[in-house]
């Protein structure tokens, strides 16, 4: 319980990876604020954590809106006293061949996945630096390290997250704060369920064969589970992990090796 007494904000904490990270941090004794746009989802996650005896609050916020992000930082600080850990997890996936990728989809993808990370980090990192301890973990993707057909906007947004992670990590390297990213392959979450549905709609393929194709992107021939991503995130937050800085850790069963 080396994180006992610490505090964290998890964006996109209403489901999937974010909800798992909130649960794992809470199990380590971290007081958490879970945030996302859907109030019913974050309320349910916070309520479930409280029912297990943890300190948890739900604070709604759209990470693309600077005013809402300032509000999140303020309200989270009121609940938690201070914010020691920021998990930038809120994200959206879009896919389209370049010829039909609209400017609107490009802008929306970059706004949520990249600008959201920038805004939340800008709001909460200065306090960590001032106090001499903090952890920022950005949930990127293997699409932040490699490209692929139909994901140019998503891949560009995740490459942006990794570049941002590396640069901010260098900027705060002597402060006691670390900034890292994790890069999952396909994870068993509602986002992946929606991706399967979209592919089935567009191609008429059988859902199980779509899932099988996704599984085969990993040498372990499986989807990752949200709890596995949460475990790596918690380890990056550990006070003993102070030498891990500016890294983008792949969690995909060994497919992308960089």
Q: Which two tokens stand for residue 174?
A: 């002597």
Phi and psi angles of residue 88, each rounded to the nearest 5 degrees, phi first: -85, 90
Site for ligand NDP in 43-62 (CB under 6 A): 61-62
105 touches ligand NDP (CB under 6 A): no
Q: Which is nearer to ligand NDP, 28 or 228 (CB)?
A: 228
Determine the interface stretch with ligand NDP among 9-17, 99-107, 168-176, 240-248 (rule: CB under 6 A): 9-17
DSSP 111: I
Q: Which is nearer to ligand NDP, 53 or 115 (CB)?
A: 115
Determine the interface stretch with ligand NDP among 86-94, 118-126, 164-172, 242-250 (rule: CB under 6 A): 86-94
Burial 168-193 (b: 16+ CB within 10 A, else e): bbeebeeeebbbbbbbbbbbbbebbe
Q: How far is the CB of 137 from ligand NDP (least distance, A)?
A: 11
Site for ligand NDP in 59-78 (CB under 6 A): 61-64
d(CA 95, CA 86): 28
Count of residues that bind ligand NDP according to CB under 6 A:
30
**154 noted as active-site residue:** yes
DSSP H helical ranges for the chain: 16-27, 39-51, 66-80, 103-110, 116-131, 152-171, 190-203, 207-216, 226-237
Whether residue 151 contacts residue 95, with contact meaning beta carbons closer than 8 Å, is answered with yes
Q: Which residue numbers are catalytic?
A: 154
Residues that bind ligand NDP (CB under 6 A): 11-12, 14-18, 36-38, 41, 61-64, 89-93, 112, 139, 141, 184, 186-187, 189-192
């Amino acid at each position: 319980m080396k994180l006992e007494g610490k505090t964290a904000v998890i964006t996109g904490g209403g489901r999937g990876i974010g909800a798992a990270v909130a649960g794992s941090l809470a199990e380590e004794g971290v007081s958490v604020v879970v945030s996302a746009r859907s109030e019913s989802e974050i309320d349910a996650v916070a309520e479930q954590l409280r029912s297990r005896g943890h300190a948890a609050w739900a604070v709604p916020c759209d990470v693309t809106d600077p005013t809402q992000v300032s509000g999140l930082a303020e309200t989270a600080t009121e609940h938690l006293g201070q914010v020691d850990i920021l998990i930038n997890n809120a994200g959206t996936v879009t896919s389209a061949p370049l010829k039909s990728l609209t400017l609107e989809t490009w802008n929306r993808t970059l706004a949520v996945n990249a600008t959201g990370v920038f805004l939340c980090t800008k709001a909460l990192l200065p306090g960590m630096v001032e106090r001499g301890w903090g952890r920022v973990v950005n949930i990127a993707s293997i699409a932040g390290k490699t490209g692929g057909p139909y994901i140019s906007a998503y891949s560009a947004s995740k490459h942006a997250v990794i570049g941002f992670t590396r640069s901010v990590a260098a900027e705060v390297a002597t402060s006691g704060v670390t900034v890292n990213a994790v890069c999952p392959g396909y994870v068993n979450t509602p986002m992946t369920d929606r991706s399967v549905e979209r592919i089935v709609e567009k191609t008429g393929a059988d859902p199980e064969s779509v899932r099988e194709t996704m599984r085969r992107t990993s040498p372990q021939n499986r989807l990752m589970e949200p709890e596995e991503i949460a475990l790596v995130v918690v380890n990056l937050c550990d006070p003993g992990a102070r030498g891990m800085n500016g890294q983008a850790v792949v969690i995909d069963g060994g497919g992308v090796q960089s």
